[in-house]
Amino acid sequence: MDSEPVTAQEADNPAATAKQRHAWSVSDFRRVWFATILLSLGNWTERIVVGFFVLDQSGSVFLTAASFAARQAPGLIAAPIAGSIVDRWSRKQVLAITAVYKALILGGLALVAGLDSPALWPVFVLTAFGGIGQSFEIPATQGLVTDSVPAKLRMNAVATQSVGARGIGAIGGLLAGTATDSIGVPVALAIGASAFLTAALAMTIIRSDRSKSAAAKANATGRIGFGLFKQSFLDLKFLWSIPVVRALLIAAVLVEMFGFAFGALLPSISVNVLGTAGTGLGALNMMAAFGSLAGVIGLTLLGDYRHKERLLVLITLVYGAFLMSFAASSLFPLSMILIIGVGMSAGAFDAMQWTLLQSNVPENMRGRAIGGWVFAIGFGWVGHIGLGLLGEAVGVQWALGAAGALVFVTGVVLTMTTGRLRGRAASTQGV
pLDDT digits (tens, 9 = 90+) for 192-216: 899 899 999 988 888 766 544 444 4
Mean pLDDT, residues 16-32: 72
407: nearest Cα among 287, 290, 305, 321? 321
Q: What's the mean pLDDT in 314-321?
A: 93
pLDDT over threshold 90, residue 380: no
pLDDT value, residue 227: 66
Residue 19 has pLDDT above 80, yes or no: no
For residue 6, being part of any structural domain is answered with no
Band the pLDDT of 423: cuts 50, 70, 90: very low
Q: Return the pLDDT at 10.
A: 46
- Closest to 298 (Cα-Cα) out of 370, 347, 259, 252: 347
Mean local confidence (pLDDT), 341-352:
89
Q: Is residue 223 part of a domain?
A: no
Question: What was the pLDDT predicted at 205?
Answer: 82
Q: Does 338 score more than 80 pLDDT?
A: yes
Q: Does residue 220 fall inside a structural domain?
A: no
Where do the H-state alpha helices sit in 241-331?
Answer: 243-258, 262-268, 278-302, 308-328
Residue 72's CATH number: 1.20.1250.20
- Least confident range from 193-202, 204-213, 249-258, 308-317: namely 204-213
What is the reported pLDDT for 125? 93
Q: Are 237 and 245 in contact (CB under 8 A)?
A: no
Identify the pLDDT of residue 142. Answer: 82
Is pLDDT larger for residue 18 or for residue 353? 353
- Phi, psi dihedral angles at 26 (to 5 degrees): -95, 120
Q: Look at residue 342 and tell me whether its pLDDT is greater than 80.
A: yes
Is the residue at 222 inside a domain? no
- For residues 385-401, give the mean pLDDT: 86
Give pLDDT tens digits for 162-192. Answer: 777 777 766 766 666 676 667 788 888 888 8
Residue 238 clears pLDDT 80, i.e. is over it: yes
- Average pLDDT estimate for 412-426: 62
DSSP state of 2: P
Confidence of residue 339 (pLDDT cuts 50, 70, 90): very high
Query: Mean pLDDT, to the nearest integer, of 330-345?
Result: 91
CB 37 within 8 A of CB 98: no
Please give the Cα distance from 59 to 161 (Å, whole number): 36
Instruction: Identify any residues that bridge with 26 across adjacent strands, giving them in sequence order.
Output: 3
Is residue 394 included in any domain, yes or no?
Answer: yes
pLDDT value of position 188: 85
Identify the pLDDT of residue 1: 33
Any domain includes 218: no
Residue type, 127: T
pLDDT tens across 268-288, in order?
A: 888 888 878 667 777 887 888
Inside any domain, residue 17: no
Residue 207 falls in which region: left (phi positive, over 0), alpha (psi -120 to 50) or beta: alpha
Our count of domains for the chain comes to 1
Considering the chain, what is the average pLDDT of its residues? 79
What size, in residues, is the chain? Answer: 431
Range of 180's domain? 22-213+229-421
Percent of the chain with pLDDT over 70: 82
Q: Higher-confidence residue: 222 or 231? A: 231
Is there a domain that residue 297 lies in? yes
- In whole angstroms, what separates CA 119 from the centre of its chain? 28
Mean pLDDT check: name the lowest of 176-185, 241-250, 342-351: 176-185
- Average pLDDT (69-95) is 83
